[in-house]
Amino acid sequence: MLAVFDKTVAKSPEALQSSHIAKSAFALKDGSLASHFSSLHPGSVIINLGSSGFMSYSSDKQNPLLPRLFAVVDDIFCLFEGHIENVAHLKQQYGLNKTANEVIIVIEAYRTLRDRGPYPADQVVRDIQGKFAFILYDSSSKATFIAADADGSVPFFWGTDSEGHLVLSDDGEVVKQGCGKSFAPFPKGCFFTSSGGLRSYEHPINELKAVPRVDSSGEVCGATFKVDSESKKGKTGMPRVGSDANWSQHI
């Protein structure tokens, strides 16, 4: 799976951006990265998100234990890879029917947060038990919601191209192609939103500290993020401001 978001939709953490980004590293320009992904993964589907970017997925070379899923519900686009263990519990929690699969569960969890729920976003992700990574884009509010499980069970990488656009994929070579040296594994046990940035759902009251990644030649290439046990965040709950409140504006 692959997603590229315009910098106006999802601003990547500054620490992820490297001064060594190749000037020729473009993820959106001319559709070159989408074409590269398609050449590596035959039968891939590309979803054009207009000025916001694009998403793409393929069943090629997928791990049968960690399948890739895609769904669109009410202008919410979601790519999911992996397996949720407590599917039955989450279906009941979100009032879904028996045919709902993992990607539908993630979309409904997001909609609950966005429209109705006073729940902390970190609790919603923490309730998902299993091996997973997902990329969600809400075209109605131009909001992103991205997460990976606490063990990093699914290969998942992110980076920034030379124009500041955010690139995410389960294929590290594709991210490297689009971002040069400005890429890294997506942090385990973390989630990212357009408005709230990167957070740990395992340790929601702690700040995350960026640690520069250094490659074999000694050059800094992006960053990894670790929980800073000494630093505490402010209140992380989402304020209830009406049943139609958009949670993404408050985290």
Q: What backbone torsions phi and psi does residue 24 show, to the nearest 5 degrees? A: -95, 5
Whether pLDDT at 235 is above 80: no
pLDDT at 156: 95
Cα(161)–Cα(158) distance, integer angstroms: 10
Q: Given a cut of 70, is residue 236 above it in pLDDT? A: no
Closest to 88 in 3D by CA, of 76, 105, 72? 105
Examine the pLDDT at 127 and tell me if it is beyond 60.
Answer: yes
Using only C-alpha atoms, the chain has a radius of gyration, in whole angstroms, of: 17
pLDDT in the model for residue 237? 44
Per-residue model confidence as pLDDT tens digits over 213-223: 777 777 666 77
pLDDT digits (tens, 9 = 90+) for 54-89: 999 998 888 888 999 999 999 999 999 999 999 999
The Cα–Cα gap between 235 and 217 comes to: 41
| Average pLDDT for 112-128 | 85
Residue with tokens 């070159």: 32
Q: Which residues make beta-bridge pairs with 148? A: 133
Q: Give the start-end residues of each E strand in 139-189.
A: 143-148, 157-160, 166-169, 183-185
Looking from the CA of 41 toward its CB, the CA atoms found within 13 Å total 23
Q: Which two tokens stand for residue 60?
A: 């090629």
Say if residue 63 is exposed, middle or buried (CB neighbours under 10 Å; 0-12, 13-18, 19+).
middle
